[in-house]
Structure 1
Amino acid sequence: MSAISPFSFLYRMPVNEFTTELSALVKARFPIIYIITWEEKRFIDTVKSMIRDTTLFSKPRAVWEWTVVDGFVKNDKPEKGDIKTAIRALEYVDQSNEDGIFILKDLYADLAAPHCDQAIIRKLKDLVWKIKGGDYLKTVIITGHDKFIPDALQKEILIKEFTLPSKEEIQQVLFSLIEQNKQNQRLRFDVDADNTVSKLCEAACGLTLNEAENAFALSIVQDGILDANDITTIAEEKKQIIHRNGLLEFSMPKLKMADIGGLENLKKWLEKRAASWSERARQYNIPAPRGVLITGLPGCGKSLTAKTVSTSWNVPLLRLDMGAVFSGLVGSSERNMRNVIQTAEAMAPCVLWIDEIEKAFSGVGSSGDSGTATRLFGTFLTWMQEKEKFVFVVATANNIDFLPPELMRKGRFDEIFFVDLPTSAERTIILQIHLKKRLNNATVLGNTVVDDTFLQALVEKTEGFTGAELEQVVVAGLFEAFSENRAITLDDFLTAIDNTVPLVVTQAEKIKAIREWANLRAVSATSMNHKVAYEREPATGAAAPKMPAPALSPRGGRSIEF
């Protein structure tokens, strides 16, 4: 396959919110600005484009770049002199008699040292006041992939994050790649139909420009064609890139709402909010939903629901590993949370799934981790309250006792749903789903007919079983037949049920407490039509269960219809 020609990132950056804010800081003569970014090249191109924009700056300014390898480069031309140490670089800035922006690429390494040189700290402090009161318009910009600032300089330096590229910037990269390689007769670019360019760029959102270019180039060299079919390739490449940071897991599940048995209230609520980030939704002047908190018993469909939301809405699913966010290094946990938020917003529209959120924030308010959990919780709540990008948060929780009360108030999540043990009607649907999925071989099925009578026998004997337990009953029944090399029978499933001790028996007290909580604080995920069958106590009579099942109180959650 023919090689892909490289291209330059030196195109005109669009004037966006970041450019406007940075230009305001420069014109306001903020002396030292610290930019957190992984993209030095793109940031510097942004600065150069900003300086050339006459709508932002009427007076031209020079741009210096400094590294420990090359010293200073002014407007892309090397400066004379051996200025390759941090102290010498700061002295050069101090002695310069020109207006301009000094971008110090490698100074962060000196500030990050365990024992930062006191001379560097003192020089930066003095430089702040000299720049403010000097005759020349100077701005020092320090770049680094993380915040490396000694405590002594916390009040002297302004910190700002350089966000990941927008869809428009990624589109420019794609157009540059096509332009650079369009003369290659062995390559074909079919990007004119069905908004292919827009879809390709949406697939690459959340990547740096360099990562986006690599993903586009890989898509081309695999078959010599760039077209709508490459969206899958780009999504897979993005999945690998995002997975490497260890914080987010990217996926496009193939599950559907129909794979969930019951929970009709919750499903209808989600279905009504599909495409709520679209232009048509904006015409109705409705705000995009922030997210939903799903609490309830383990194994009753909370995680399954989170996975199906992204499929039904046709947006990526990002699963957040909160355990990976908490790092042993001071300040690293906060940085990880910022990275998660930044990546999620860059990939918008998307679904952010936080599984067992109570485990992440169980330490809120304590001093056992020096307040790290409290700080992360505060960052998360502020973002949930103020986020503008469409990142729909699906948080699931098993133990509501550990959830901080601040998480439950309106404005954080749009609604709190409670998922209880499946009703008789829901168990029928769940069993139908699993039996249909697994009993698709005539040899295994034999003469057994899975009809209403068959299902009713299973439903009546599985009262109090969770959805996960119902699935395992089907699997265990199949193992009974498999071990004897024969067709499946109803007795195989009934035996599996007899050998199962459900959650309603082993955790009766916990289930009762959760239901009492949900009766006042959450909306039932189950439809009223499915709920009626569960408003009674378990049947008592002839056949006593292996272990006595507790009386099932009415299902928790307010019974409203959507």
Structure 2
Amino acid sequence: METIFYNFYYQDDQQIKKLMNTALIEQVFDLIKLNNPLIAIESPLQERARLLKSIARECQQKHVLCYLWTLSDDQLHQLEVNGQDLILQQVLEYQPMTKNKREDYFEILRFWKATEKEGILILEGIFPWLGDSTTDPDFFLTAEWIKSALINLKLDNRNSNRTAILLGPNASLSSEITAFVPTITQELPTVEEISNYLQGILPKNYSEKEIHEIALAAVGMYLADIEYGINWATASCTKAQELTKKLSLYKTDLLRRVYNIEFLQPPAIEVGGLDLMQESFKTYKRLLTPLAKAYNLRLPKGILLIGPPGTGKSHSAKACSQRLGIPMIVLEWGSFRSYGNMAEYKLKNLLALVDRINRVILYLDDFDKGFTLNDDLSRRLAGMLLTWMQERKSDVLIIASANNIEWLPPELTRSGRFDDIFKVDLPNNGERHSIFKIHLARFDYRFRDRDGFSDEEWRRLLKATHRCVGAEIQAIVERAAISTFCLMFTDDVPPVGELPPLEIRLEALLSARNNMNPLAIREAERIEGMRNKADLQGLPSSPLDSSIYSVGNVNIFG
């Protein structure tokens, strides 16, 4: 009998109990008590060793034998836990067959049906054959054989003290088998579970408050990821505050790689205009308070920002993150199409992540681009999102941006889906004045505490930039700053301490504007179509221009 040892280091047995996914293990054995001979567990790969040890330990306490079979080696092992070690003992009664056909790789299903052994058999690597149908006839026939074998296991092994557990990261089952197999999903750990875990691995001089702050920074990761992140962070820092920051950076990078999203902490930004929308953001912040919850008040189910490109929809979402003081997850909705048959699985995991993080903004960028083909996949993803928006209990604020509202399915824009719909339009004179000042202040000190131009100069600039959006104004200022810099200095740039201030003149801005053809002018018909359709659905995000640069405030008589 071949024996393999897997070593896990924890401080003591009590810590091991804390690290067990207690709720998950209880669900598994509750289903076993109800004589379910077939169970599916969806668990991420990084948590696999911890989960196997938890199941094996529970089996030992209940005097139940536990076995493991994996597709990769087609070997059967008995699992035992000895102190800190997970022991795999090869079961020689099971002998793999010569692989003449694909079904021979799954001889374990015949063996478990016919054997007199009792206990729990964990099967790894079968889920890919249990999903929706495929166009490959050979794969299809193998999948049908496996499904039939599993159904026979369920029927023949009832009341036989034998249970087969299907284990894998994606427990997507086809409709004909899903009713036969109860499925359990290993959820992301809660803040309390993470805190319990951290108490066993962090230095004893960390206070409860510090551990709680670190746990909050770790929410959204599994324990195995947190352990790796802690080890990476403590290699270069020991103070709790530094550890929290480094763990947050590690989580940001991990979420980007795993979920293809950006996880952004509340930024420090300025917004030029959009005052009505900003007032709504203040309301959302009040709805996050315990007082609002006491009155059963909630955040809007969703907020939709519609309007031409470059008008500040993404910037507005970041401003909302700043106003509410909560992080933001940025997701390109159209990117889900690239996952094909995995798209629904990816979306399900992402929504579970968002629910666990809880107080966060989920920003769906270019929401309309995910519906350009109007196919079955688009409708299924939209249905998943709508169901989640309707049923969720978490304090998540969903913000979506769209250029072409007509691309969105009607069920997404009807009342009760997105509670607030804002039209983010071309900026008026007063808003363009504010946007110019924000960007000019980045380069020219005169615009930081005061106004560097006269009213007449501003009127010339604002007239020249009519129909320019915020993104184009930023580009104009940056080009003007570059041209000013190039006129001030040759290749021999003096030391930093001797640098004169960069003063951007009106002529440089007008020249940069003349070298740009704004989108609202270049594509006037298309942009006006977007604006008109947004008018029919959205509330204004800006009030009437009441600044001194408003068209109504111009003295036409000089």
Normalised by the shorter chain, which TM-score bucket? 0.7 to 0.9
Structure 2 matches for 1:27-426, cutoff 5 A? 27-38=33-44, 39-44=47-52, 47=55, 60=62, 62=64, 64-68=66-70, 71-74=76-79, 76=81, 78=89, 80-83=91-94, 85=96, 86-88=106-108, 91-92=111-112, 95-96=115-116, 98=118, 100-108=119-127, 114=139, 116=142, 120-132=146-158, 134=159, 136-147=160-171, 153-178=177-202, 182=203, 190-192=205-207, 195-223=209-237, 225-245=238-258, 247-252=260-265, 254-256=267-269, 259-274=270-285, 276-327=287-338, 329=340, 331-364=341-374, 366=375, 371-426=376-431
Cα deviation for residue 20 of structure 1 reads: 6.5
Residue 494 of structure 2 is matched in structure 1 by none
Shift in alpha-carbon separation, 1:417–1:449, aligned structure 2, 3 A? closer
Partner Cα separation in structure 2 for residue 295 and residue 94 of structure 1: 62
C-alpha distance in structure 1 between counterparts of 2:152 and 2:528, whole Å: 65
Distance 1:157 1:393, change over 3 A: same
Judge conservation of contact 1:292–1:413 (CA < 8 Å) in 2: yes
Q: Which runs of 5+ in 1 are unaligned?
A: 54-59, 183-188, 543-562
Give deviations 1:343-367, integer Å, cap 9, x for gaps: 2223222222211100012223x3x
Root mean square deviation, CA, Å: 3.7
**Is the 1:64–1:73 contact (alpha carbons within 8 Å) kept by the matching residues of 2?**
yes
Cα distance in 2 for partners of 1:516, 1:152 equals: 47
Q: Assess if the C-alpha contact under 8 Å between 2:333 and 2:366 holds in 1.
A: no
Q: CA deviation at 1:254?
A: 2.6
Superimposed CA distance per residue, residues 507-553 of structure 1 (whole angstroms, 9 cap, x where no aligned partner): 332333333323332111113465998787999999xxxxxxxxxxx
How many Å separate the matches in 2 of 1:150 and 1:505?
51
Q: Decide whether aligned partners of structure 1 residues 66 and 338 sit closer, same or farther in structure 2, where only a CA change above 3 A counts.
A: same
* Contact 1:62–1:75 (CA under 8 A) maintained in structure 2: no
Cα distance change, pair 35–501 in 1 and its aligned pair in 2 (3 A): same
| Deviation (angstroms), 1:36 | 1.8
Aligned pair in 2 of structure 1 residues 540, 332: CA closer, same or farther (>3 Å)?
A: farther
Cα shift at 1:282: 2.4
1:465 aligns to what?
A: 468
Structure 1: distance between partners of 2:130 and 2:253: 32
Deviation at 1:49, TM superposition (A): 8.0
Which piece of structure 1 moves more, 458-467 or 83-92? 83-92
* Structure holding more helix per residue: 2
Assess, with a 3 A threshold, how the Cα gap between structure 1 residues 202 and 249 changes in structure 2: closer, same or farther: same
CA contact (8 A) 1:146 1:335 kept: yes
Looking at structure 1, the residues matched to 144 and 414 of structure 2 have their Cα atoms a distance apart, in angstroms, of 47
**1:118 and 1:407, CA in 2 relative to 1: closer, same or farther beyond 3 A?**
closer
Structure 2 CA distance for aligned equivalents of residues 216 and 40 of structure 1: 19
Q: Distance in 1 between matches of 2:173 and 2:191?
A: 32
State the alpha-carbon separation in 2 of the partners of residues 84 and 325 from structure 1.
Answer: 42
Instruction: Give 3-state SS (helix, strand or coil) of 2:442's partner.
Output: helix
For residue 453 of structure 1, report the CA deviation from its aligned partner.
Answer: 4.2
Equivalent residue for 1:526? 542
Q: Secondary structure at the match of 2:521?
A: helix
In 2, distance between residues paired with 1:352 and 1:322? 11
Q: Following the alignment from structure 1 to structure 2, what is the Cα–Cα distance between the partners of residues 500 and 482?
A: 19
Instruction: Please give the secondary structure, in 1, of the residue aligned with 2:361.
Output: strand
How many Å separate the matches in 1 of 2:437 and 2:129?
64
Classify 1:512/1:307 alpha carbon distance in 2 versus 1 (closer, same or farther; 3 Å).
same
Equivalent in the alignment of 1:476? 479
Is 1:491 equivalent to 2:510 in the alignment? Answer: no
Amino acid at match of 2:68: W
Q: 1:357 to 1:120 in 2, by over 3 A?
A: closer
- Equivalents in 1 of 2:366, 2:214: separation in Å? 33
Query: Secondary structure of 1:62's partner?
Result: coil
CA contact (8 A) 2:308 2:527 kept: yes
Amino acid in the other structure paired with 2:488: N
How far apart in 2 are the matches of 1:278 and 1:19? Answer: 35
In the alignment, residue 482 of structure 1 is paired with which amino acid? F
Cα deviation, residue 341, structure 1: 1.6
Q: Secondary structure at the match of 1:33?
A: strand
Amino acid at match of 2:479: A
- Residue 89 and residue 216 in structure 1: after superposition, are their counterparts in 2 closer, same or farther (change >3 A)? same
Give the direction of change, closer, same or farther, for the CA distance of 1:118–1:293 in structure 2 (3 Å limit).
Answer: closer
Letter in 2 for 1:103: I
Partners of 1:419 and 1:71 lie apart in 2 by 61
> Which residue in 2 is equivalent to 1:450?
453
Describe the shift of the 1:35–1:340 C-alpha distance in structure 2 as closer, same or farther (beyond 3 A): same
Match of 1:352, SS state, is strand
> Deviation of residue 416 (structure 1)?
0.7
Deviations 1:156-178 (A, max 9, x none): 33344322222222222211212
Amino acid at match of 1:147: A
Correspondence for 1:553: none
Give yes or no for contact 2:281–2:324 (8 Å, CA) kept in 1: no
Letter of the structure 1 residue corresponding to residue 268 of structure 2: L
Partner amino acid for 1:426? E
Q: Which shows bigger deviation, 268-277 or 13-22?
A: 13-22
Q: Distance in 2 between matches of 1:50 and 1:389?
A: 32
- TM-score using structure 1 length: 0.79
Change (3 A) 1:517 1:106: closer
**Match among 441, 444, 450 for residue 439 of structure 1:** 444
Percent of pairs with identical residues:
24
